[in-house]
Structure 1
């Protein structure tokens, strides 16, 4: 798979509305679109998911840029890639920096699928023609605002509602939500806002029939989560703690969770995501594909990954219009009654809206290989 050129597009897009979690509020998203071009002019696209501040993980937009330019692209120059699965090994000498790695690896997967003239979903081994999706709702100004927001998305048919929580905005809020929506699949996402000192408080959630509570304890923990899961009936889902297949294996063996949220960027790319999927399928662990406020390219990668069979729960891949006035792909991702139809065109299945991408781009760097 001869790679001739890599373009790094730095992009800045404004969200339709601020998105608030336990660690902060985001109004704009700055990220990279990677474009990898082969000897025949085929173009593969990837998207970075790190934020400008190290809230979610230690990675940021600036660290991604540094690692991609100074370490990862040079490694691609030094090595011949026959299949995207080889990228994991090529990048192995660079520790962590998973989001930087996945930015390039995703573009190579897209390029590979286009060269084979097959959809990315098929290249990954996916079999679904449509996927169920949920919606993630940030912390709202009032409970009434939250109820109204949930009502809007329930009427749109989303299969699951994820609600961000934090100390002081948790049990009582969720009780009111459950009262208003007794049969709606609801989960809570804490983004590491609690400790084991809150165990009795969190156990109150068992009365609310939640699908799961996501990452309630420390972002790097799998030990205390095992203690919490043993004490709670509500399934614990791990997110920030899982950076690799090995993390997933250890968490499952320890009983730290019953569900895993797989994010492509967090685990270092599609190849590692597939390894986690295969292990969880073997062990009977439910998984779902989480979101990082992606634009269209990253959203397309999430859709393709979710076509693998063990993604049994609705993911976070909502419609483009949920987040962006205009996305960078054509057509944009749309959701009908909580379902996304998987595209059948080669690669990610969506075309790049060149005009939109150019309007959001603040800088382009080109690297010849």
Structure 2
């Protein structure tokens, strides 16, 4: 496979609502959309999940653009690629910058699955025809507002509710949720808002029978998480701490977690995400697919990845209409009773809504 042209587009899409976590509030999403064109005229699509500010990790939209333009795209344009797995090794000399790497690798996976006449899910080795999904709810101004959102999500059939927590918005909020929804699958995501000396508050989470608490401690930690997991019953799920299969191996051996959240962008692409999935399956650690407020392209990649067998917990891939007035794919990702039906067409299985892409794009550049 020869990549003849790569197009980078800077898009801005407004969210339907403010999305607040322990590290900031999002009212719109700016991101890079990448189109890779092969010698046969096909286009594969990838989406960067990096934010404008380095809140989640050190990467931003601007650093991703720089890495793609100056390092990753030139490497891809001069290399004949037989299989997308080669991208992981091709970029190994470039340290970190996983979200930038994932952006172009995702487009190559899309192209490869089109060229081989199979869905992206099948190309990855996925077998599920439908996947279970949950919903992620940001911090609200009032608990009453949160309860209304949860009630709507439960009525819509979502299989799991995730709520964001931070010191001062945790124990009392979760207690109120459990009072109204005593049996729903419920998890809490801290986005590294706590430290080990907050262990008394984290132990209190055991009262609520959560499916997990996600990344309670520092974003680069696996040592203190192991200490914490030994002292609480609630399963610890690692997110920001896991950037590679090697990170996952060490965390599992240390006992730092009982669950791992796999985000394609965070780990550098679908190939590394598969490796982490396979390791966790071998070690008996369940995984699920986290979300980064993706638009349609990133959302379709999450759907495909979740068809692998060890994704046994509902992920964050809610319907497109949950976040966007109009998404950039046709049809949009829809959820019925907490389930997404996996498309079986070659590639990502959705059409690109070029009119919407053009509407949201305010800068683009082509590389040959």
Normalised by the length of structure 2, the TM-score is: 0.99
**2:128 corresponds to:** 128
Instruction: Report deviation, 1:180.
Output: 0.5
> Where do 5+ consecutive residues of structure 1 fail to align?
none
**1:217 corresponds to:** 217
**1:69 corresponds to:** 69
Instruction: Report deviation, 1:78.
Output: 3.2
Instruction: Report deviation, 1:341.
Output: 0.1
**1:325 corresponds to:** 325
Q: Residues of 1 paired with 2:77 and 2:300: CA distance?
A: 27
Query: What's the CA shift string for 1:87-127, capped at 9, x where partnerless?
Result: 00000110000000000000000000001111000000000
Q: What does residue range 10-159 of structure 1 map to in structure 2 within 5 Å?
A: 10-159=10-159
Instruction: Report deviation, 1:36.
Output: 0.5
Q: Tell me the SS of whatever aligns to 1:131.
A: strand
Q: What does residue range 153-302 of structure 1 map to in structure 2 within 5 Å?
A: 153-302=153-302
Q: Residues of 2 paired with 1:277 and 1:159: CA distance?
A: 21
Please say if residues 5 and 77 of structure 2, whose CA atoms lie closer than 8 Å, have aligned partners that are also in contact: no
Query: What's the CA shift string for 1:136-160, capped at 9, x where partnerless?
Result: 0000010101111100100000000
Q: Residues of 2 paired with 1:6 and 1:323: CA distance?
A: 28
Q: Residues of 2 paired with 1:65 and 1:201: CA distance?
A: 40
| Backbone CA RMSD of aligned residues | 0.5
Q: Residues of 2 paired with 1:224 and 1:241: CA distance?
A: 11
Size of the aligned set, in residue pairs, is 368
Q: Tell me the SS of whatever aligns to 2:5.
A: strand
| TM superposition outliers: structure 1 runs of 4+ over 6 Å | none
Q: Residues of 2 paired with 1:31 and 1:98: CA distance?
A: 15
Please say if residues 79 and 90 of structure 1, whose CA atoms lie closer than 8 Å, have aligned partners that are also in contact: no
Instruction: Report deviation, 1:273.
Output: 0.2
Q: Residues of 2 paired with 1:231 and 1:23: CA distance?
A: 26
Instruction: Report deviation, 1:77.
Output: 2.6
Instruction: Report deviation, 1:328.
Output: 0.1
Normalised by the length of structure 1, the TM-score is: 0.99
Instruction: Report deviation, 1:200.
Output: 1.2
Instruction: Report deviation, 1:23.
Output: 0.3
Instruction: Report deviation, 1:337.
Output: 0.3
Q: Residues of 1 paired with 2:259 and 2:273: CA distance?
A: 14
Instruction: Report deviation, 1:238.
Output: 0.2
> Where do 5+ consecutive residues of structure 2 fail to align?
none
Instruction: Report deviation, 1:76.
Output: 1.2
Are residue 347 (structure 1) and residue 347 (structure 2) matched?
yes
Q: Tell me the SS of whatever aligns to 1:340.
A: strand
Q: Residues of 1 paired with 2:223 and 2:297: CA distance?
A: 35
Q: Residues of 2 paired with 1:80 and 1:90: CA distance?
A: 11
Q: Residues of 1 paired with 2:44 and 2:260: CA distance?
A: 28
Please say if residues 189 and 216 of structure 1, whose CA atoms lie closer than 8 Å, have aligned partners that are also in contact: yes
